[in-house]
A and B are shown apart, each in its own frame.
Chain A
Amino acid sequence: MSSWYKSWILLTGFILFYVAYLLFGAFVFSTIERPVEDKLKRDIQVLKEEFLNQSCVNATSLENFLERVLQANKYGVSILPNSSASSNWDLASSLFFANTLVTTVGYGHTTPLSDTGKAFSIFYALLGVPFTMLVLTACVQRLMHLVTYGPISMFRQKIGLDPLAATAVHFAILLLVVVLGFFVVPAVVFSYIEDTWSFLDAIYFCFITLCTIGLGDYVPGEKPGQNFRSLYKISVMVYLFVGLMMMYLVLRAFHRMADLHGLTSFFQLPHCDEDIEEDREPIIEAGHEDQHEVEASAKPLDPASQTSYNTINR
């Protein structure tokens, strides 16, 4: 019974810690952002006053007008002169939208306006999200052989490290490669293409996108008069897919490494699935078998239950 109690206690501890974490974040954000918001609001007030003073417009008609404009802007329709050319729902943009819907990023810069669109989004997402998860995890499964198992066994054989050290080293290298290739380099590209983005903005965008948070404050390709807009949006889509795959890969490698090091059993968390034996069976040579035996026997044998999106690895 004690292990059962332990799991409950751990869970409660987790929840409490999590709430504390949220409160901490709330406090910090509040402190950082509030002054800036104050200033912006004051500026807007001043602007409105000036406008009202120098013209014959009265406040209410201006209010109404602004309300209409903002309403339209919420839907992505802008009144400004040079933004009337491109629609938000041409094929490439719709594809981009469908992609953000299905990968659960969900920027929200364009959202369905019509009721039919909303209803369709519901069903589309219900089917598309697991579909995408399935494809991504399948790809990750294949990639794992290439990226993880191969190098690890190479480390073990050529350099002669023990399994724990080999996995740790490999994970560090993988992390470095992913950060460089999928955060830094794309950030440089984005900050170059998008005029208003700084490098930090671009990295912030990459991170928010690849974690599928998708706040939507920065969306590539929304600048009016963008050259090759369709191509740009489609390449961002590809970047999103591949980047997500790499994130899952990193997560999975980390999970496996934590398993091997016994962290998951310590925290009574779900273990990594043991597909390593199964998938490698036909390719395996005699030399690798003891590695698997070692790995298998090193892992405690609790079954895994994946209930989180981010840790769905099958």
Chain B
Amino acid sequence: MRCPTLLALLAGVMLYLVMGALVFRNLESPKESKEHEKLLCTTRDFLGNHSCVTAQNLSDLIKSVVKAVEAGLDVKHSSTNFTSRWDLASAFFFCGTIITTIGFGNLSPRTKWGQLFCVCYALVGIPMFGFLLAGVGDHMGTGLRKAVWKMETLFLKRRISPTYVRIMSAVLSILIGCLIFLAVPTLVFKEVEDWSFLEALYFVVITLTTVGFGDYVAGANRRDGDLFKPLVWLWIVFGLAYFASILTMIGNWLRVLSKKTRAEMEELRAHATDWTQNIQNMSMDFRIPNPLDLNDPFLLQRRRWKRSTRRRVRRGALGHHGRQGVIGENGHLPNRWVSHTRSMTRLEVVRLGGGEVRNEGTRLGPGAVLGADSRVSARSEGRSLGRTVARSLSLSMPAARSVMELDYDLDPVAMMMLQGESVSLSESPESDSRSEVSSSDFHTYDMCTPGQGITFASFDASGSLCTVRGSQGGSRQVFFQEDVRFPVPLQQLPKSHNPTKPIPMSPIFSVKPMPLPMPTPPGCKMLDFFGENLAYIDESSDTLSDRNQPIEGAVSPRPRKPRRRSIRRQLPHRSPLKERRDSDMQPPSNPPTPPPLRD
């Protein structure tokens, strides 16, 4: 986080506190002084009515009584048979409040040994509870998300914009959680404890945020509520897990909103394009494995080399430009932000990626449709060499066409090449003609390469690659062509963070073919962005249980770059191909040896 942002946040919190203090003072002081007045009246009356009691006696009595009450005694009932407040159920409840750090305080240890034991107990118990909460929240989140996903597919079938669906599902999940963990307990407490609705709601919120004042404690005054207290504790655990995830989500939103500066938006768009490229390549791996594909030595070797070049770029070997977009000018572009941007076009990406996952025969329809859309936009904006234009274009283009990458040196070239590709694709769906067209495009544009001779020279043998491509089927043609021409751009695929699990993991997206709505117009980008972020945030608290489930079709593990933290967390559990990276330092030789597929 940037320093100014941090300072601004600190100032914001201070201001928030002062504002709260002012409000509380204005709300509470009058009532407090009123209570004081009433108490003075009562005391005077008492002293007046009972003249044998001196003020001193009275104040002594009051002092002792108050001390007893503070020790946790209940002095109102003057029964002589003693029921301890430290019976097993209450003590259990007390331990529960200690460990969840709620700490009501209506009951607390008074002896030295009790306090010492409390300290040691909490030291062990609090981290343990933290783990438990993580595990419970995990499973709970998965279940909830699955339910929400089922609902979403229902909505998506009706062709509502995915952004709205996402927002709706986020709001809905909050509402469902609120209903289960806030509303129902409020009503229960209202009935059982005989509080007003506001008091019950106040108790529920104060407890679930672990503030735990202790002025209202459920089950405190019941002597026969031995089953009630454990039930309350169970509710606290689940409610805490839920509330923690909700508060995390809100915190993430605040974070997202706090970072919306224009410059960063630009960066994010750049990342998004890069990311869409990654998703494409990822989707290739998530396909039903085609043996020819997986063992394709050229493909794999090319990827490795791209990754290595990408790494060298990141380390500054290829000049300054390469590092800028990745990290951001301030050098502190946080993962989450980047991943958010990536999620910007994720919907289109995955849609298309999902489209490309299936085998080409049935797939060409949607792809071609989108291609047709992009063609117009590609042609209209293709000629500009501006980096930003290229990037904004990539946003509006469907994912399969956007080969924008972070190697800014290559941006303009890639752009134009890309347009060449898309043009060729939309116009000629035949593989043979495409390869011819593409080779002609290649020759047309190669003069524009500003010093990228290295990357292209080694792939001059496009003829051989074309033939390989030709056998792969329609919708992948473009992809491979892009591979040929833009080894460096595509290399970003592994470099940058692994995208949120596009197909198997996320309950929102699935491998099954979904109806592909048209990509949203540029005007809706903001909303898209936010909606995507909601989805992203929703999925970013993704669960171990999700990850541990077997993923069909995911054969070749993608190497993870540890840089993109939040995207890493969505990737299924797979072994890294890190050792492969180290051997990637030299450009591929012909013929390259096929690397092992898995470690």
Contacts and interface: CB of A to CB of B under 8 A. Distances in A.
A303 B39 contact: no
A247 B287 CA distance: 45
Interface residues of A, number: 152
A139 B10 CA distance: 9
B73 A37 contact: yes
Contacts, number: 494
B94 interface: yes
Contacts of B32: 75-77, 87-89, 113
B465 interface: no
Contacts of A6: 548
A87 to B, nearest CB: 6
B212 A278 contact: no
B215 A97 contact: no
B6 A128 contact: no
Pick the most buried of A6, A29, A47, A48: most chain B CB atoms within 10 A of its CB. A29
Contacts of B568: 274, 301, 303
Contacts of B255: 134, 314
Pairs A-B, 4 closest by C-beta atoms: A303-B569, A307-B137, A282-B331, A213-B103
5 contacts: A30-B88, A54-B52, A89-B29, A116-B27, A281-B331
A125 B206 contact: yes
B327 A99 contact: no
A258 to B, nearest CB: 10
Given A303-B570, A310-B101, 20 more contacts: A27-B88, A30-B91, A38-B84, A69-B65, A70-B76, A72-B35, A98-B17, A98-B21, A111-B213, A120-B24, A125-B209, A128-B20, A142-B1, A142-B3, A212-B103, A217-B105, A268-B544, A282-B332, A305-B543, A314-B252
A275 B566 CA distance: 9
A43 to B, nearest CB: 8
Contacts of A270: 134, 544
Given A269-B131, A307-B141, A117 B115 contact: no
Contacts of A296: 562, 578
Main DSSP-derived SS at the A contact region? helix
Contacts of B389: none
A2 to B, nearest CB: 9
B165 to A, nearest CB: 23
B599 to A, nearest CB: 11
A297 B109 CA distance: 47
A214 B548 contact: no
Given A29-B94, A37-B86, A107-B105, A204 B119 contact: yes
Contacts of A100: 211
A162 interface: no
A239 to B, nearest CB: 15
Interface stretch (B41-49, B146-154, B436-444, B584-592): B41-49
B573 A108 contact: no
A275 B211 contact: no
B327 A217 contact: no
B114 interface: yes
B50 A135 contact: no
B27 A14 contact: no
B75 A99 contact: no
A29 B109 contact: yes
